[in-house]
Each structure stands twice: as C-alpha cells, then as structure tokens.
Amino acid sequence: MKRSAWRYLFKSEDIRNKLLITFLLLALYRLAANIPVPNINLEALRTAQNATGAAGNFIDLINFLSGGTLANFSILAMGVYPYITAQIILQLLVPIIPPLERKMKENPREAQSWMEKWTVILTIPMALLSAIGQINVFASLAGTSVIKNFGFAPDQILGSSAVLLTMVGGTMFGIWLGQLISEYGIRNQGLSLIIFSGIVAQIPNSLYRILVDENNRWVIVVVLAMLVLTIFAIVYVQQGRRNVPVMFPGRRVGNRMSMPVRSTLPLMVNMAGMIPLIFAQSLLSFPALVASFFANSDVAWVKNLATGTMSIFGNGSPWYVLFYFIMVFAFTFFYTSVLFEQQNYGENLKKQGAQIPGVVRGGPTQRYLSKVQQRITLPGALFLALVATLPYIATNLLPISGRSGLFLLTSSGLLIVVGVVRDTFTIIDTELKLHGYEDRLIS
C-alpha cells in the first residue's frame, strides 16, 4: 500500500504558512473585486450588460476573464491583463532588438531585473488605454456613458482622471497582491492564481445559467461532456513531451572515470501555454476598442466605419472566429520560437560537454533541436487554435441559447484553470519533498 506525502501537507509549518498567506491574499483580491469605481451609472451598466449578439458576447468574455469584476465595474475591472500584455510585448521585443538580446545572453539576472522594471512601467499606459477603451465600449452599447459626466472637457477632466487613476490603481493593486503571493505564498504562481481565482468564481454562475436558460436537457449533457473531454485533452496535450536523447560525459572520481550518462532533453508539445490566446485576443479586441472612440461620431461615414469594425471584430462574429484561429496558430509558432531561442540549448549543452548522438555540438545542435521543436509544435498549435474556437463552433452547431453556456467553455479560462492547478500541485509536491515528506510504501 502506498501512502501519499500529501497527508503531511499541514504538518509542515512552512508549507502551511505559505498556503494560508496565499488563501488570505486571494480572499483580499476577491473582496476588492466587489468595490465599484466612483460615479458609476448603474442604469447604463445594466443596459450594456443586457446587449445581445457579438457585442454582448464580447462583454461576457471580458467579464469572465476578469473574474466577474465588470458586472459592477469594479476597480479591478481590467484584472492584471495589462501587466501580462506588457510582459508579452517586451518578450517579443527581445529577439527583434539586438542590444536586448545580447543583454539577455550576457547577464541574464540583470536583464531579468530590467525586464521586470520596464514591464511595470509599460503596464501603466496599457492600463490607461484599456480603461478608456472599456468605458467607451460600454458607452457605445448603452447609448450613454457608464461613468457619470465622463469626458475630457475642462469641467469633466478632474472626475474622469479620478476614475482612470482608480482603475489603474486597482490593476496595480492586483499585480502587487500577485507578487506577494509569489514571494510569500506559493512561489512563482501569484498572477496565475489571481486570474485563476477570478475564473473559478464565475463557474458556479455559468453552470446556473446553463441549467436555467437551456430547455433541452440533452444539450446540458452534451455541453458538460464537451467540458470534461476538453479538460482531458488540455491535460493530455499540455503533458506531451518529445524526449531527445542526450549523452553527458563521464566524470573522474579519484583515479577512475565513470561511464557516460545517457539522458533525455524533454521538448514540450505546447511550450507557449496560453500566451498565444491572450495575445490574439488583445490584438483582435484592439480594433474594436479603437472603433469605440468613433462610434458616436457626428460624421456619417466615420460612424459607419466604426460600427462595421466593431461588428467584424466583435467577439463571436464569423470573421472574428476565423482571425482568432489563424492568429492563435501563428502566435503559437512565433512565441515558441522566441522562448526556444532564449533557452539556447545548443550552447548550454556544449558547455556541459553533452551531445546529441549523431549531431555536432553548438550551432548544429541548436538547429537540429529547433527543427524538432517546430515539428512537434504543429499539432500543439492546431490543438490550441481548435480549443480557442471551440466555444464558437459549439454555439453554432448546438441549440445553445446564446450566452448561457458559451463562456463556461471559454478556451482561455479552461487552459488557465487546468494549467494553474497542474503547476500548483507540482510546486506543492516539490515543496513536500524538499521538506523530507516522500510517498512511502507500507505493508
């Protein structure tokens, strides 16, 4: 009989304190998520939330991924996504700007500190643009601003600045809580757990909406079955590895030379994780956010162009689904290539004296591994693009009543939940082993 080390979870004071700190900080985040911004126009907010079609789906998507904070236009309405977007932009700039790439290779620790500083700095303008965009999108749906007297006229600037500073401050507060979790709670999981907590908080409401809105009980069974199968597929693909054989040289022990060690280098099928989804959604929502500034223009052709742009890039439209599939597929390859080049496996293996059988060390090894990574990324990219568009395909194929079940199956939400749970369990298991708690066989 095998006894799991997890039964010692709360016996270790250090692990117990980390878990309690994590739970308390997440509870504080969820508490702040219910604080609305100043001067909220509740009637306009309800009108915007009741919008149907692509616009309503777009609002539901933002609300779901922000953890329901848009339901009352909370100070955390943007979540921590401006920070993640800024992080992605800087990571993509590294291979494009040679001095940055050299800095990353020559002094990784200093480069990492530089990246963290500029990510926070870039988050502020990204959060400001996102806040103005969200207010404009809601205003275009409601026909009036969701924030009373919002604008940039001389008599409006003070109140509008207070609202924008509050929303940006809420985002920075969420980022700060995530960093505290990573430092004092479950390490390196702060922002992931912040996003995870918001999504999980919305799942009961999504289930309730399915049960209430759907008249066909078999549709409920099909939707829940799709949910289970999708989770299983995500776990299966996320765990996928291609183990490349590597020979490490023997070591001298006294007067003896040990035999070479045969090992493997695991290459992930989906190295990019959920980043391509976030980046594709950010880019696809950008035209709609820009168009929202001109939706109420007095010039007819400008207003028509803005309305058409919002319709084409509205979440759930056929063009949106097609662009989303293509962009997720393309960004998976692009981001995987960026991450893989930063790893620099060829030089690292050469420094250790290791070699892939039949492949020359250094540059040829890096090129060989790049080809292998590209081949295994192909099914991973196709899978990611399919999962990303699955909610929209399911809505068109099944008689699902609009918005009730679509966002329970949202791709980003499922990938985040499954990924965070898997990573958190791995980290806790590692912590238990570091504290001497191992799985034991007992007779």
Contact residues for 230 (Cβ-Cβ < 8 A; gap 6+): 387, 390, 409, 414
Helix (H, G, I), strand (E, B) or coil at 45: helix
User: What six digits make up the tokens of 91?
Assistant: 């990571």
Q: What is the mean predicted confidence (pLDDT) over 139-156?
A: 80
How much is the mean pLDDT over the chain? 79
Ranking 143-152, 177-186, 252-261 by mean pLDDT, the lowest is 252-261
Q: What is the largest CA-CA distance in the chain?
A: 88
User: What six digits make up the tokens of 270?
Assistant: 């989906």
Q: In the chain, what are the domains?
A: 2-250+259-441 (1.10.3370.10)
Contact residues for 241 (Cβ-Cβ < 8 A; gap 6+): 266, 267, 268, 269
| Residue 248, strand partner residues | 261
Is the pLDDT at 315 greater than 80? The verdict is no
- The DSSP symbol for 250 reads P
- In residues, how long is the chain? 443
Ranking 8-22, 272-286, 324-338 by mean pLDDT, the lowest is 272-286
Higher pLDDT residue, 185 or 45?
185
Ranking 49-53, 247-251, 348-352 by mean pLDDT, the lowest is 49-53
Helix residue ranges per DSSP H, 318-410? 318-343, 345-351, 363-397
Which pLDDT score is estimated for 164? 92
Q: List, for residues 84-128, the tens digit of each pLDDT value.
A: 888 888 877 877 878 777 777 777 778 788 888 899 999 999 899
Cα 124 from Cα 306, distance rounded (Å): 26
Q: List, for residues 404-443, the tens digit of each pLDDT value.
A: 444 445 656 777 788 788 888 888 888 887 777 766 555 5
Question: For residues 166 and 37, is the Cβ–Cβ distance under 8 A?
Answer: yes
Higher pLDDT residue, 27 or 100?
27
Cα 398 from Cα 401, distance rounded (Å): 9
Helix (H, G, I), strand (E, B) or coil at 242: strand
Cα 183 from Cα 189, distance rounded (Å): 9
Cα 386 from Cα 1, distance rounded (Å): 41
Which pLDDT score is estimated for 334? 86
Of 274, 250, 75, 262, which Cα lies nearest the Cα of 191?
274
Type of residue found at 16: R
Cα 94 from Cα 104, distance rounded (Å): 8
User: What six digits make up the tokens of 9?
Assistant: 């979870």
| Residue 244, strand partner residues | 265
- The DSSP symbol for 241 reads E
Which pLDDT score is estimated for 197? 86
